[in-house]
Amino acid sequence: MRTLTPSSDPVDLAERYAYPAGGGTWLRANMVASLDGAAQRDERSGGLGNAADQELFLLLRGLADVVIVGAQTVRAEGYGPVRPRESWGAVRDGRPPVPPLAVVSRTLDLDFDAPLFTEAAVPTIVLATATADPERLRLAKERADVIVAGEDSLDFAVAVRELASRGFRRLLCEGGPGVLAQITAAGLLDELCLTLSPMLLAGHPARILNGPPLPAPPEFRLGHALEEDGFLFLRYARSR
């Protein structure tokens, strides 16, 4: 064992969280959890964070080509379209001003008149299944770029390939826990950015992965550990 000694020196977050060089697809997830493993407080992940966590949340969006999020999280967290940020500086040079959201929805129970679809600077993407209600699918195609991946359940491997074919290779998943569990089970998760919140909640909230046990759990290596106000910001990459 060794001591991870806190340092007062500031770090360049854009440099620390840069995607790996090269043209391959890289899928990272950004999640927050309490000390006892809760992924939500009062049914929202936002209740666990602080200002530094929010700063990192926005930076990771700026670094990404596309942001994947489940429809349930969109509804619970009140998602709108991604907005440009002055703090991004040059991280989006040569790319559109914002990454689009790619919303995972099997039922397409989404408000297609909401700002998420009507005010997006880059068209919102919907990741749907072939068995979605035809009328809901028609509405989705009127307001979004629809990718059909899978029959009854979403095939994330197909979805990732389709996103990559559109030039989206730096992928960011913001959850929720059910979506992240499926991505991990499919062997697609390359990196986990985990904010550890110094809270103990108890109760029975979901963990950052909410799904059946993985028969062959993937292993990750620690890339870095940052600290601010008692919060830990951990970056893990999958061991190959």
Q: With 90 as the cut, is the pLDDT of residue 95 above it?
A: yes
pTM across the whole model: 0.95
Distance, in Å, from the CA atom of 199 to the CA atom of 211, rounded to the nearest integer, reads 23
The phi and psi torsions of 221 (rounded to 5 degrees) equal -110, 145
pLDDT value for 23? 80
89 prior amide bond cis, ω within 30: no
Q: Are 52 and 59 spatial neighbours (Cβ–Cβ below 8 Å)?
A: no
Edge-to-edge strands, sheet with 220-228: 145-148, 125-128, 101-104, 66-70, 170-173, 26-34, 191-197, 231-238, 220-228
Name the pLDDT band for 40 (thresholds 50, 70, 90).
Answer: confident
Distance, in Å, from the CA atom of 19 to the CA atom of 170, rounded to the nearest integer, reads 7
pLDDT value for 6? 65
Q: What is the pLDDT of residues 181-223, one digit of tens each?
A: 999 999 999 999 999 999 999 998 889 999 999 999 999 999 9
Domains annotated for the chain, with CATH where assigned, are: 25-238 (3.40.430.10)
Percent with pLDDT over 70 in the chain: 98
Q: Are 143 and 151 spatial neighbours (Cβ–Cβ below 8 Å)?
A: no
